[in-house]
Amino acid sequence: MRWPDAHATKRRGRAMVSDLESPPPRLDWQLGQPSGHWTAPDGARLGVRAWNPAGAPRAVVVLVPGLNGAAEGFHPLGDHLAAHGILALGTELRGQGLDPEPARRGDLADLGDCVHDIAAFGALTAGAFPGQPWFLCGESMGAMLSLRAVADGKTRPAGLIMLAPVVALRERPPWWQEWLFRVALRFAPRRKLDLSAMAEKRRAQGADIRVASDAAMEDAIRAAPHFLREFSLRFLATLARHIEESTAAARRADLPALVLSAGRDAFMPAEGIERVLGPLRARGGTFRHWPDAFHLLLFDAAHDEVLAAITDWMGARIAAADPQTVGRG
């Protein structure tokens, strides 16, 4: 059974990003600056966070955060890449806590808009650094959306890096809960659920749903200014639908890929990653797994190994970069 499609509700209210005719996307950022903005195809302005190498970059990485994430959350990776001569550029996502439009925060009707944004930002980045290989790196939901952008042919990086990708539902709710959700979605699509309260209830019942190995990090996540407690029904519907479509996306994606997973991931069991992303391995993808790690690999006790795995893999790809893919968006 497929999750309900909120597209019909959305089409009655507004056009999709891909349907709009606006001035071309623009990158308002210069090499050396720590931050800036970029303009999406529909005119939306989204934040950019940059980690600049000391000299001219030998490659560029576009960073895509996950659910309740922000570009700044990539700072361990950004610092590491910059130290290796690689420019890292992170974009904020519409619908998340740093969306400049407050009405969209936690209430994005279609994550397909984010997929278009990823492709547009990748094209801007590639165009700003012609002759340099560029890579796409997503974390959690951002990894799933990045896979979708590649699979749909919207962008073609030199390689795709997926950090703890959420590409399958850990468990499906009982039929009656799903039925109630569908009814509520039909009549009140913008009604929000307090996911934090639900998580706190599960913790009180003894569930281990930590996302980091450090309790202080867990507290810092919930205290971050971009953290959202509530998400609308239509956002949750489009999230579930895009997750379920990851299996087909993995079959269509044909490019070098690095998949990094955690054994104690509260959202994504390792067997689910292998089942969904197996086609990437069959086409030469590299899979690395840390059995004792948690979802936020960049902040885990194993983070040094994770960072090294990324730069080692990228180094091999940079050395073997196909001139036809260099600088393409």
Helix runs in 52-162, H state only: 75-83, 112-128, 141-151
What is the CATH number that goes with domain 7-319? 3.40.50.1820
Is residue 95 within 8 A of residue 108, CB to CB? The reply is yes
Cβ count within 10 A of residue 147: 29
- Per-residue pLDDT, 204: 85
Contacts 24+ apart (CB under 8 A), 175-182: 178/1, 181/4, 181/233, 181/236, 181/237, 182/4
Q: What is the pTM of this model?
A: 0.91
The H or E element spanning position 306 is: helix 303-319
Name the token pair of 222.
């919930």
- Per-residue pLDDT, 12: 40
Q: What is the rounded CA–CA span in Å between residue 323 and residue 170? A: 40
Write the DSSP symbol of residue 297.
G
The radius of gyration of the chain from alpha carbons, rounded to an integer in Å, stands at: 19
- Per-residue pLDDT, 328: 46
Is residue 173 within 8 A of residue 181, CB to CB? The reply is yes
- Give the C-alpha distances (Å, rounded to integers) separating 13 from 8, 99, 271: 9, 20, 39
What is the sign of the dihedral through the CA atoms of 243, 198, 99 and 189?
positive
What is the sign of the dihedral through the CA atoms of 214, 217, 222 and 227?
negative
- Per-residue pLDDT, 321: 72
Q: What is the rounded CA–CA span in Å between residue 126 and residue 142? A: 19
For helices 303-319 and 75-83, the axis angle rounded to 10 degrees is: 50
In the three-class reduction of DSSP (H, G, I as helix; E, B as strand; rest coil), residue 248 is classed as helix
Low-confidence ranges of the chain (pLDDT < 50): 1, 8-15, 18, 20, 322-328
Looking only at the bridges linking them, the beta strands covering 160-163 and 134-139 are parallel
DSSP string, 154-190: S---S-EEEES---S-SSPPPHHHHHHHHHHHHH-TT
- Per-residue pLDDT, 209: 83
Calculate the average pLDDT of the chain.
Answer: 90
pLDDT digits (tens, 9 = 90+) for 88-144: 999 999 999 999 999 999 999 999 999 999 999 999 999 999 989 999 999 999 999
Nearest to 5 by CA among 177, 169, 168, 245: 245
Q: What is the rounded CA–CA span in Å between residue 24 and residue 27? A: 10
